[in-house]
Amino acid sequence: MNDHCKKAKPHRPGSLEPAHILVVDDVELVRDVLGTFLTRKGYRVTLAENGNQALQLFNQESFDLVLSDVRMPGLDGLQLLKAVKDQDPRVPVILISGQSDDVKTVVEALKAGADNFITKPLQMDELGHVVNRSLELRCLPARTSRDWHDIYQETYFKVPSVSELICEVVYQISLSAVAVGFAKRDLDNNLRLALTEGITNAMEHGNGWDPQKSVEIRSHITPHLLEVSIQDQGEGFDFSNLPDPTDEANLLQERGRGIFLMRAIMDEVVYVEPGNLLLLRKEKPPEHSGGEQG
């Protein structure tokens, strides 16, 4: 396994320095609680009381992750997200969604490049997991693409249900995406998140983390299209009985969260009967002047 695919630690990639996190919230109590929690986890934390101050700090210092509330006076979380991604699309941005935020807001954030979201009331164990996962995916190194136009790549993986292998598979798919020109430097952080959620669901819910059971992953990538199938050895499930992801109340539920994230990030998410085969599809978005794809 590549060194960068080992379990994420509270350090900057390739450095012994702690990862630097920018925490943004206009409520002082929440800001202090988040800062204290992350500091105790071993991270270096800088606090900002609003989006404008956060953006000013982001322009002055180097950060490995931004954790921001959505609703703030002045520059809100969505505007801060877009500004950060315009400057450096590889920096993960996690948004904190309040109970008053609707699903459209969360989906808009994910479409704009948010790497994950957490909901209020905050669950600190979940926060720690989401931060760790985002930094783990950020550790995948950037690659430089060549000018490919008429090639595609198909890759097949058959891996045991071992969580440490998930990052390695996502890393290899990311390399393929760069090799054929789908991505310029690397897959967007939240595309890697969608792949990670899909593979994790297959290993956890399909195979019950049984290392004797395998997950088969096939990727088909062209300069304009990313298609991935993920199949486990479980009996499947009735995906029609999952909580409705368009219901705001279900944003607080862990069950179905991964599928919600995948649907918000990917263009197409399909479970094939009996439910142990997942198909993911993403078309390459048009080029834009604010930053690079990937």
Is 291 inside any structural domain? no
CATH number of the domain residue 173 falls in: 3.30.565.10
Q: Quick one: tokens of 264?
A: 């918000």
| Distance (Å, whole) CA 285 – CA 294 | 10
Among 230, 225, 217, residue whose Cα is nearest residue 282 = 225
Q: Does one domain contain both 250 and 166? A: yes
Q: Does one domain contain both 278 and 160? A: yes
Q: Among 138, 170, 189, give the residue marking a domain's end.
A: 138
pLDDT beyond 80 at 234: yes
State the pLDDT at residue 189. 82
Is 90 inside any structural domain? yes
Whole-Å CA distances, 14 to 27, 52, 88, 140, 192: 34, 30, 18, 11, 20
Is 147 inside any structural domain? no
Domain total of the chain? 2
Is 130 inside any structural domain? yes
Q: Does one domain contain both 132 and 239? A: no
Is 288 inside any structural domain? no
Q: Among 83, 108, 138, give the residue marking a domain's end.
A: 138
State the pLDDT at residue 244. 56
**What percentage of residues in the chain have a pLDDT greater than 90?**
54
Q: Does one domain contain both 128 and 163? A: no
Q: Does one domain contain both 97 and 160? A: no
Average pLDDT of the chain to the nearest whole number: 84
pLDDT of 61-92, one tens digit each? Answer: 999 999 999 989 999 999 999 999 999 888 99
CB pairs under 8 A, 24+ apart, for 241-245?
245/103
Q: Does one domain contain both 189 and 225? A: yes
3 state DSSP class of 130: helix
CATH number of the domain residue 70 falls in: 3.40.50.2300
Q: Among 108, 138, 168, give the residue marking a domain's end.
A: 138
In Å, the largest CA–CA distance within the chain is: 54
Q: Does one domain contain both 132 and 159? A: no
Q: Does one domain contain both 185 and 120? A: no
Is 198 inside any structural domain? yes
CA 54 to chain centre: 21
Q: Does one domain contain both 97 and 161? A: no
Q: Does one domain contain both 95 and 179? A: no
Q: Does one domain contain both 114 and 215? A: no
Its domain, for residue 272, covers 153-283
User: Band of the pLDDT at 242, cuts 50, 70, 90?
Assistant: low
Amino acid at 115: D
Is 238 inside any structural domain? yes
Is 145 inside any structural domain? no
